[in-house]
């Protein structure tokens, strides 16, 4: 019978084996932490189109705060990502991820390139009435004209007229590049008047993280909506 204790056996383990075990443990923990963060707190996405220019550019990688709207409120002026559960925006044109990228997307180490996720700006909340346009060509929310500094240079707030009231538990969204954005305006004659259910909102854009020369905040602009009065239905 050997007189060696388990601790002596451990000391005799080859250094390379110990290093491999430690590295595997660290990597495993990092993957678990990344998956938890991606599932409950932050998630990365890829921007495939020009619809949110100049705020977001094609090929930008963004990080989204998943606590909004489940824990934190969504406000007018916020830039949000939502799931296109009704296929209003179609399949789009996005990169076709390989198995490795799909695995990295699943655990949260690569941005999600899925075409069924869409990014737009919230301009109205439940109960709000949105009208286009006033005599100066501005969109009105609950009768308050909105100056929109984030619009793509040369774009008008809208090229056609509309008047909608936002259903309960919904938000109404527009792209910043209005002439290149198929947004809520394209569905005003359909159920929910083009509004998106809050349950479909994944989260609020927190930051642009790639490319390096584009690193910036999430692009939310709440100031233009500060003077908007409370919706009639909420009074």
For residue 24, pLDDT beyond 70: no
Contact 82, 202 (CB under 8 A): yes
95 band by pLDDT with thresholds 50, 70 and 90? low
For residue 109, pLDDT beyond 50: no
Choosing from 51, 158, 184, 220, the catalytic residue is 51
Range with lowest mean pLDDT among 48-52, 112-116, 157-161, 175-179? 112-116
Number of H helices, E strands in the chain: 3, 12
Name the token pair of 119: 């990014």
3-state DSSP assignment of residue 137: coil
Contact 120, 51 (CB under 8 A): yes
Region 1-11 average pLDDT: 51
Name the token pair of 146: 């909105």
Residue 12 is among the residues annotated as catalytic for this protein: no
The total domain count for the chain is: 1
* Cα–Cα distance for residue pair 88/106, rounded to 1 Å: 25
Residue 4 in any domain: the answer is no
Q: What is the CATH number of the domain that holds 160?
A: 2.10.109.10
Residue 18 in any domain: the answer is no
For residue 2, pLDDT beyond 90: no
235 band by pLDDT with thresholds 50, 70 and 90? very low
Percent of the chain with pLDDT over 90: 59
Average pLDDT, the chain: 83
Region 104-128 average pLDDT: 73
Query: What pLDDT, on a 0 to 100 scale, did the predictor assign at position 107?
Result: 44
DSSP 41: T
Which residues constitute the domain of residue 116? 41-234
Residue 195 in any domain: the answer is yes
Alpha carbon separation from 101 to 29, 61, 65, 118, 191 (Å, rounded): 20, 14, 22, 20, 36
Range with lowest mean pLDDT among 117-126, 170-179, 226-235? 226-235
Query: What pLDDT, on a 0 to 100 scale, did the predictor assign at position 169?
Result: 95
Residue 159 in any domain: the answer is yes
* Cα–Cα distance for residue pair 100/46, rounded to 1 Å: 16
Backbone Cα Rg of the chain: 23
Query: What pLDDT, on a 0 to 100 scale, did the predictor assign at position 178?
Result: 97
Query: What pLDDT, on a 0 to 100 scale, did the predictor assign at position 97?
Result: 56
- Cα-Cα-Cα-Cα torsion 65, 67, 72, 73, nearest 10 degrees, comes to 70
For residue 145, pLDDT beyond 80: yes
pTM for this structure?
Answer: 0.77
Residue 38 is among the residues annotated as catalytic for this protein: no
Percent of the chain with pLDDT over 70: 71
* Cα–Cα distance for residue pair 50/182, rounded to 1 Å: 11
Name the token pair of 199: 């349950």
Residue 72 in any domain: the answer is yes
Maximum average pLDDT range among 34-43, 83-92, 110-119, 146-155: 146-155
Over residues 170-199, the pLDDT tens digits come to: 999 999 999 999 999 999 999 899 999 999
Contact 112, 82 (CB under 8 A): no
Region 111-138 average pLDDT: 88
Residue 35 in any domain: the answer is no
Query: What pLDDT, on a 0 to 100 scale, did the predictor assign at position 11?
Result: 53
Over residues 61-89, the pLDDT tens digits come to: 999 999 988 778 999 999 999 999 888 87
Choosing from 38, 120, 181, 220, the catalytic residue is 120
Residue 27 in any domain: the answer is no
């Amino acid at each position: 019978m050997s007189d060696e204790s388990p601790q002596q056996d451990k000391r005799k383990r080859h250094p390379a084996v110990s290093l491999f075990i430690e590295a595997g443990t660290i990597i495993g923990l990092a993957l678990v932490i990344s998956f938890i963060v991606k599932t409950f707190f932050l998630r990365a996405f890829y921007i495939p189109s020009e619809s949110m220019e100049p705020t977001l550019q094609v090929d930008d990688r963004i990080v989204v705060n998943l606590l909004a709207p489940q824990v934190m409120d969504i406000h007018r002026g916020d830039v949000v990502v939502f799931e296109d559960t009704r296929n209003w925006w179609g399949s789009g044109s996005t990169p076709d991820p390989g198995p490795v990228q799909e695995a990295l997307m699943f655990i949260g180490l690569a941005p999600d390139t899925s075409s069924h996720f869409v990014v737009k700006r919230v301009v109205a909340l439940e109960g709000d009435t949105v009208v286009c346009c006033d005599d100066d060509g501005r969109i009105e929310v609950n009768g308050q004209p909105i100056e929109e500094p984030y619009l793509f240079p040369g774009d008008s707030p809208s090229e056609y007229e509309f008047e909608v009231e936002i259903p309960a538990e919904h938000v109404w969204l527009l792209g910043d590049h209005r002439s290149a954005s198929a947004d809520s305006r394209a569905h005003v004659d359909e159920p929910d008047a083009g509004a998106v259910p809050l349950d479909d909102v994944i989260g609020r854009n927190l930051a642009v993280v790639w490319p390096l020369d584009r690193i910036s905040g999430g692009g939310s602009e709440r100031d233009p909506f500060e003077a908007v009065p409370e919706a009639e239905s909420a009074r």
